[in-house]
Amino acid sequence: KNEVEQSPQNLTAQEGEFITINCSYSVGISALHWLQQHPGGGIVSLFMLSSGKKKHGRLIATINIQEKHSSLHITASHPRDSAVYICAVNNDMRFGAGTRLTVKP
């Protein structure tokens, strides 16, 4: 069983929809990362969280340490948000399997 579980695995949305991607983990952590991987393979770090909530533009990330759960939200989604979103915990960087998001115009 993977120590970092993401859901859903695949997500298709219409442009403008509010999107939520979930990440649950089973180990104690010092921080959790949300990463974005584009179709060409390049990875961008979106957020690093150890508590609470962070916002950057249309992206919001939250974490509940007690429940061992984090969510990534995208407001007013756009086709350019189409990518794989990966959750990783900061204990030797263990990764979730990723959520493949497709936003249709």
Partner 1 sequence: EADIYQTPRYLVIGTGKKITLECSQTMGHDKMYWYQQDPGMELHLIHYSYGVNSTEKGDLSSESTVSRIRTEHFPLTLESARPSHTSQYLCASSVGTRTDTQYFGPGTRLTVL
**Least CB distance to partner 1 at residue 81 (A):** 18
**Least CB distance to partner 1 at residue 1 (A):** 13
- Distance CA(72)–CA(81), nearest Å, equals 12
Judged by CB under 8 A, does residue 98 bind partner 1? Answer: yes
Q: Is the dihedral of CA 4, 30, 57, 60 positive or negative?
A: positive
Judged by CB under 8 A, does residue 44 bind partner 1? Answer: yes
Instruction: Identify any residues that bridge with 33 across adjacent strands, giving them in sequence order.
Output: 48, 88
Distances (CA, A) of 30 to 20, 21, 25, 91: 23, 21, 12, 7
Judged by CB under 8 A, does residue 96 bind partner 1? Answer: yes
Binding residue for partner 1 (CB under 8 A) from 17, 20, 31, 58?
Answer: 31
Nearer to partner 1, 38 or 76 (CB): 38
- Distance CA(20)–CA(73), nearest Å, equals 5
Beta strands at 59-64 and 52-56: parallel, antiparallel or unpaired: antiparallel
Judged by CB under 8 A, does residue 94 bind partner 1? Answer: yes
Judged by CB under 8 A, does residue 97 bind partner 1? Answer: yes
| Binding residues vs partner 1 (CB under 8 A) | 2, 30-31, 33, 35, 41-45, 48, 50, 86, 88, 90, 92-98
